[in-house]
Amino acid sequence: MAEGDAVTFIRPGDDHWAHGIVGSDGEALSDENAHALNEFETPQDFANQFFTARDADWRAPIAGEDKKFLSELQRYSTPGDLGNSWREQKQTISAGQYSKPLSEDATDDDIAAYREANGIPAEPAGYLKGLPDGVVIGEDDKVHFESLMGALHEENAPPSIANKIIGWYNGFAEQQQDAQHDLDNAQSTEANDTLRADWGADYRANINLINGLIASTFGQEAADQLLNGRYQDGKAFMNDPAVLKGFAEIARQINPVMALSTPGTDATTTMNDEIEQLEKYMSEKRTEYNKDEKAQARLRKLYDIRIQQAAA
Higher pLDDT, 85 or 92: 85
pTM (predicted TM-score)? 0.46
pLDDT, position 267 = 58
Looking at the domain assignment, is residue 305 inside a domain?
A: yes
Comparing 23-37, 148-162, 254-268, the range with the smallest average pLDDT is 254-268
Residues 6 or more apart whose Cβ sits within 8 Å of residue 251: 209, 210, 212, 213, 258, 259
Boundary residue ending a domain (59, 92, 125): 92
3-state SS assignment for residue 86: helix
pLDDT, position 97 = 53
Give CA–CA dist 239/190, Å, rounded: 8
Looking at the domain assignment, is residue 186 inside a domain?
A: no
Q: Is the pLDDT of residue 13 over 50?
A: no
Q: Is the pLDDT of residue 57 over 90?
A: no
- Number of structural domains the chain divides into: 2
Boundary residue ending a domain (92, 118, 144): 92
Looking at the domain assignment, is residue 232 inside a domain?
A: no
Q: pLDDT by residue (tens digit) across 135-177?
A: 778 888 888 999 999 999 999 999 989 888 888 888 888 899 9
Looking at the domain assignment, is residue 244 inside a domain?
A: no
Looking at the domain assignment, is residue 224 inside a domain?
A: no
- Phi, then psi, of 247 in degrees rounded to 5: -65, -40
Looking at the domain assignment, is residue 230 inside a domain?
A: no
Among 43, 47, 40, 18, which residue's Cα sits nearest to residue 31? 18
Q: pLDDT by residue (tens digit) across 86-139?
A: 888 777 666 655 567 788 888 988 889 888 888 899 999 998 887 777 777 888
Give CA–CA dist 268/167, Å, rounded: 55
Looking at the domain assignment, is residue 251 inside a domain?
A: no
Give CA–CA dist 93/50, Å, rounded: 38
pLDDT, position 291 = 93
Looking at the domain assignment, is residue 254 inside a domain?
A: no
Among 144, 149, 115, 114, which residue's Cα sits nearest to residue 131? 149
Q: pLDDT by residue (tens digit) across 181-202?
A: 999 999 999 999 999 999 998 8
Q: Containing domain of residue 21, as a range?
A: 17-92
Residues 6 or more apart whose Cβ sits within 8 Å of residue 241: 191, 194, 195, 198
Handedness of CA 197, 202, 207, 210 (dihedral sign): negative
Give CA–CA dist 206/307, Å, rounded: 20
Boundary residue ending a domain (92, 108, 125): 92
Q: What is the mean pLDDT of the chain?
A: 81
> Residues 65-91, buried b or exposed e (16+ Cβ, 10 A)?
eeeeeeeebeebeeeeebeeeeeeeee
